[in-house]
Amino acid sequence: MSEKTPIPLGSNFIRAIVEKDLAEQKFNLKKWAGSPGDALHQAAGHIDSAKIRTRFPPEPNGYLHIGHAKSIFLNFGLARDYGGICHLRFDDTNPEKESQEYVDSISDAVQWLGFGWQNGNENNLYFASDYFDEMYRAAVGLIEAGLAYVDAQSADEMRINRGTLTEAGKDSPFRNRSIAENLNLFNEMRDGKHADGSLILRAKIDMASPNINMRDPAIYRIRRAHHHNTGDKWCIYPMYTFAHPIEDALEMITHSICTLEFEDQRPFYDWLLDNLAKAPTEANGESKLGLIATPVPHQYEFSRLNLTYVVLSKRKLIDLVEQKYVSGWDDPRLPTLAGARRRGYVAEGFKLFTDRIGVSKADSWIDYSTLEDCMREVLNESAGRRIAVLDPIKLVIENYEAGKVEDCFAPNHPQQPELGKRIVPLTKELWIEREDFMEVPSKGFFRLMQGGLVRLRYGYVVKCTGFEKDAAGNVTMVTCEYLPDTKSGTAGADAIKVKGNIHWVSAAHAYECEVRLYDRLFSAAHPGEAGTDYLTQLNQNSITKITAQLEPSLKNAKPEDRFQFERHGYFVADKKDSVAGKPLFNRTVTLRDAWQK
Ligand code: ATP
Ligand code: MG
């Protein structure tokens, strides 16, 4: 077994922050009423038994990819390691492009990675669209506090007046409307009295701020669109940057972890939550509580995962699927978690991978081979060994009795003898790998050659006597004679030393089936780099389908059963195209070391 050093807690900067916060007892008075809600709701709850709360907040507008796995292990992992709870929150405030299929696939992927949202009798699965009423109240609260206004500038005017990185922006002519006027207009927006895009609610912060995100950002827009959860109830929708902090606050999140591109949004995140925690709204007015409870959540950013030879962006993945460059979201070549699973990747491999790459603020590319190494390490220990001939030619043992069947014993796992051995039948006609015979052997070739000796793995030593070729010069059959006293596991086995050792499958017993060999989806390490169209960089040979001869036991493999095919790599019974008694196999990953002997 390989040595695995556990990653010490506190070994990344976010863990260090959590540990410091806990040491300072920052959340000891934090209340939680058992469900998300405003300050009044939470105030009626108990001291939260969860020491921290994190969340994984996917937008259900696509399937999750390997980058999301990093975020899942980070958020759920922090909660698990520090006595906290991690929420699964569907960030579905954008009415377009979201669907139930995506919600289901995301839930599946999170569970497949080993996490869940049922904590005791608390179900921490949430939909941001359930908070539209609170978001609306938050917007009203800001208007009442003089911190938001309805702007009637056109999109172009707003863009021009926003200024640039070096130039301050200009105040909107509508910036100084009265609170009453703003409230009235915002209600009219909600009631459908204005056309899409004609009015927009903006936070009133500072048009001269050096941070463009603080120049009166838009917070609510008019958009007549059907929403998968709320139907046609709303024709105004909150902007993501407004909605997300409120979602975190209603769920009493302590550490809101996101990728680095949101770093510039943090001042607005803080501005918004500080003001909402202060501003008493009509609903909460009498209790003198702000709209949201304290302590308010804080945002922390880490660098997103970039992986060579794939694209980790839902938009690009959607292109690949919709334009049919791949067979679907679960195509085993795709870096989606659904694809990775079908490819035979394992959740423990992703855990090892995320531990190994760590969490930091430095942007970098991780080589795809790092992920493959992690899968190999996990599969090497967990996958049983089987025999498969991927490029078969016949080997006939001339001095072996026709019709005779002899049991040979193959270990299920060389490093785990407790897993026992299985019987593989030996007969006169076998399938062997084409590359295990050479008419004109190259230097260092120790397998079958005219007159040479080789061991049939778990069987006898044989001597090659001849071969046949077809008209095109391809070898079609090899003949040999076996040495009867040399069977593996018998006293005579060591009497003759041979350098080569080849695998084989009895032709009469073999399970013939389709095996799919996968290669990288893109031929470029950084697809789309320097303005290149990533769709032109697809590897044209990313899939090869072959007909292989497998040892008979593999006929009984169930979907998602994983094996090491000796000398070839790790394979999985395809979960989609396999039928009972007729599994198909996908190559997950090759063996690290090419077969040398
Ligand atoms: P994409 O850019 O692929 O559309 P996204 O960030 O829009 O991804 P979300 O559904 O918003 O997708 O992501 C949910 C969570 O996963 C977010 O917190 C996001 O930061 C995180 N995440 C997304 N991509 C990566 C990545 N490549 N590495 C690490 N975390 C990621
Ligand atoms: Mg997103």
- Name the residues around ion ligand 2, CB cutoff 5 A: 59
Our answer on whether the CB atom of 59 is closer than 6 Å to any ligand 1 atom is: yes
CB 71 less than 6 A from any atom of ligand 1: yes
Tell me the average pLDDT across 203-209.
98
pLDDT band at 595 (very low <50, low <70, confident <90, very high): very low
Element (H, E) at 220: strand 218-222
Determine the pLDDT at residue 364.
Answer: 86
Query: Does residue 287 surpass a pLDDT of 80?
Result: no
Say what the pLDDT of residue 515 is. 98
In order of their start, the domains of the chain are 13-131+242-305 (3.40.50.620), 146-239 (3.90.800.10), 308-344+510-597 (2.40.240.10), 387-507 (2.40.240.10)
> Which SS3 state, helix, strand or coil, does residue 371 take?
helix
Coil, strand, or helix at residue 429?
Answer: strand
Residue 494 predicted with pLDDT over 90:
no
- Pocket lining: 60 vs ligand 1, CB cutoff 6 Å: no
Ligand nearest to the CA of 304: 1
Atom in ligand 1 nearest the alpha carbon of residue 258:
20
**Per the confidence metrics, is the pTM higher than 0.75?**
yes
Find the 58 Cα to ligand 2 centroid distance in Å: 7
Nearest residue by C-alpha to atom 27 in ligand 1: 67
Distance (Å) from CA 305 to ligand 2 centroid? 14
Q: Whose CA is nearest to atom 3 of ligand 1?
A: 313
* Burial class of residue 140, CB neighbours in 10 A (0-12, 13-18, 19+): buried
Q: What is the pLDDT of residues 62-89, one digit of tens each?
A: 999 999 999 999 999 999 999 999 999 9
Locate the DSSP E strands across 493-584: 501-502, 504-506, 511-518, 543-550, 562-565, 569-573
Burial of 395 (0-12, 13-18, 19+ CB in 10 A): buried
For ligand 2, the distance from its centroid to the CA atom of residue 506, given in whole angstroms, is 53
State if residue 296 touches ligand 1 by the CB under 6 angstroms criterion.
no
Active centre residues (catalytic): 59, 304, 314
Residue of minimum CA distance from atom 9 in ligand 1: 58
Q: Cα–Cα distances in Å, from 383 out to 32, 66, 566, 571? A: 44, 22, 11, 9
Distance CA 185, CA 273 (A): 24
Q: Which residue has the higher pLDDT, 175 or 280?
A: 175
Asked if pLDDT for residue 281 goes beyond 70, the answer is no
| Whether the CB of 305 sits within 6 Å of ligand 1 | yes
Residue nearest to atom 26 of ligand 1 (CA): 67
Whether ligand 1 lies within 6 angstroms of the CB of 303 is answered as: no
What integer is the mean pLDDT of 332-353?
A: 98
From atom 18 of ligand 1, which residue's Cα is the shortest distance away?
A: 258
Q: CA-to-CA distance for 111 and 104, rounded, in angstroms? A: 11
Q: Which atom of ligand 1 is nearest to the CA of 305?
A: 28
b/e string for 350-367 if b means 16 or more Cβ within 10 A? Answer: bbbbbbebebeeeeeebe
Query: In this predicted model, what pLDDT tens digit does every residue of 212-257 receive, in sequence order?
Result: 999 999 999 999 999 988 999 999 999 999 999 999 999 999 999 9
Q: What angle do CA 339, 340, 345 make, to 5 degrees?
A: 150
The verdict on the CB of residue 258 being under 6 Å from ligand 1 is: yes
> Mutation test of ligand 1: which of 14, 98, 259, 329 has the most ligand atoms closer than 8 Å to its C-beta?
259
| Residue 259, ligand 1, Cβ within 6 A | yes
Alpha-carbon span 317 to 315, nearest angstrom: 5
Confidence of residue 97 (pLDDT cuts 50, 70, 90): confident
Q: How far is the CA of 305 from the centre of ligand 1 (A)?
A: 9
Q: Is the pLDDT of residue 596 over 60?
A: no
70 lines ligand 1 (CB under 6 A): yes
Distance 59 CA to ligand 2 centre (A): 6
Treating both helix axes as pointing N-terminal to C-terminal, what angle do 66-81 and 13-23 enclose, rounded to 10 degrees? 20
- Going by pLDDT thresholds of 50, 70 and 90, the confidence category of residue 108 is very high
CA of 237 to the centre of ligand 1 (A): 21
Nearest CA to ligand 1 atom 12: 58
The pLDDT of residue 1 is 36
